[in-house]
Every structure is written in C-alpha cells, then in structure tokens.
Amino acid sequence: MICVKVRADIHANRCGAVMRLLLVEDDEMLGQATSDALQGAGQSLDWVRNCMDARAAARLHEYDAILLDLGLPDMPGEELMKQLRSARSNTPIIVLTARSQVEDRVTLLDLGADDYLVKPFDINELRARLRAVKRRTSGNNDASDVQKVGPLELFQASRTARWKGRQVNLTGKEFDVLETLLMRRPRVVSRAQLEEVLYGWGDEVESNAIEVYIHFLRRKFTPALIVTVRGKGYQIGSEEILQAAVAPPPLGAG
C-alpha cells in the first residue's frame, strides 16, 4: 500500500479536537499542502492516492472523516463513496471537488457525501467543515467548545480541563485520551481505538501506554472518572457517577 503517514504533533494542537483523517488525493501538490495544513493543526492524517488504497485503509481504521478527491487514477471517487456506503460505512465524507455545477453537488450529497468543498479551497474553511462534522457525529450541535459531564469540563480550543471548577493540568496525550472518551460517550472505546487516535501508522506504541494515561487521569480527577469494561475497553463515568464521586486531593491543580 502506498501511503504517506503524517504524524500529528498533538502537543502543538491549538485548533481543538484531534481527529483521525483519511485523505484520498492523487495530486501531489494539493495533497501535500492539505496534509501539511492539517498536520499543523494537530490532526492525525493518513494520505492515500487511489481508491484501492483508500478502501483498504477504511477497512483497517476507524476514521473520523474521509477527505475525498473525485478524479482518482483507478476509479471515480463517486464509485468509492457508493462502495463505502453500501458496505455500511457511515464515516463522514467531505468531497474535494473541482466541479462547480449544482447538479454535481446534489448528486454527491445523494451518493452519501456529508459535505463538499470546491477546489481551490481555503484550508481554514476545510478546518471549519471538519469541526462541524465532529460536532455532528458526536451528537453535540453546540458550537461552543466546552464538553461538560457533571463536575468535569473540557475546553477543546484551549485543551484544558476543569474538575469541580478547578483547573487540572494535563499532558497532551492525557488530554487526547480524555477528549476521545468524552466525545464518544456513552460508548465503550477499546484500547486499540485509543491508540489509533493517539498515534499514526507505523508509530511505536508502548504496550501499556494507554493504561498509563488512564491511570494518571484517574489520579488527577477521580478513580470513577473512567470505567474499565472488561474485555472491551474504557468508558467515561456517567454524569451520576461523576457527580457522586468524591474528588481526591487535586493533584496538579493550578
């Protein structure tokens, strides 16, 4: 599989939530510019150049969104979209199209695209569309960046957290783990899914890295913050559980 992996510098992310993205684009310059820009914003991104590799990547990984060019070497992007949708993939797809006719846009949306951008597009517009996709898929239509569960507050733009009104200092990766669990609540998130969010392809992942982050998060907030679901993964504590939790002396409060 031909693939350029762009490792996101999560700690440099000042633009909100980390998303795992699949870019399907055969144009080198446009692909490089897009991946550079999203990398700069701290997103985790895999870049493939044709539909076959895109299909394989989409089977292997759970992406938060797919950025899809239509004019691809092995088959039209529309066909890939049809295949993904008939395979019951509901990963949001943002089409990057050079076409501007209204009929084409209607067709795209009918085929299962969630959104589209006409090339050449402004990278800030793409980022805004991605934020909108993230809000929609997390079921949160509130445009503010605060995620709140009981006494826990997560501020995505500033990447900070508060517990019972007090700031809790988090490392970049701790923040990413907490954010992922919060955004996917009440679903259980597996260790493999967390690793996918935190690391790109080919990165060395220490076997117990996720457990270590979970351990520190529980220490900094409360043991009830994260529930271990045996054999499945982790889940953020429910609102009732967090409300009832008695916080330990706040480590790292500042």
- What is the binding site for Ca ion (CB under 5 A)? 26, 69, 71
Residue (69 or 174) nearer to Ca ion, CB: 69
- Distance between CA atoms of 39 and 7, rounded to whole angstroms? 7
**Own/partner pairs, 179-184, CB within 8 angstroms, 24+ separation:** 179/17, 179/18, 179/147, 179/154, 180/18, 181/226, 181/234, 181/235, 181/236, 182/147, 182/149, 182/152, 182/154, 182/236, 183/17, 183/134, 183/138, 183/140, 183/147, 184/138
Q: Which residue is nearest to Ca ion (CB)?
A: 71
Residue (31 or 233) nearer to Ca ion, CB: 31
**Residue type present at position 220:** K
CA pseudo-torsion sign 63, 80, 5, 9? negative
Residue (77 or 233) nearer to Ca ion, CB: 77
Residue (29 or 143) nearer to Ca ion, CB: 29
Residue (26 or 115) nearer to Ca ion, CB: 26
To which residue do tokens 């692909």 refer? 31
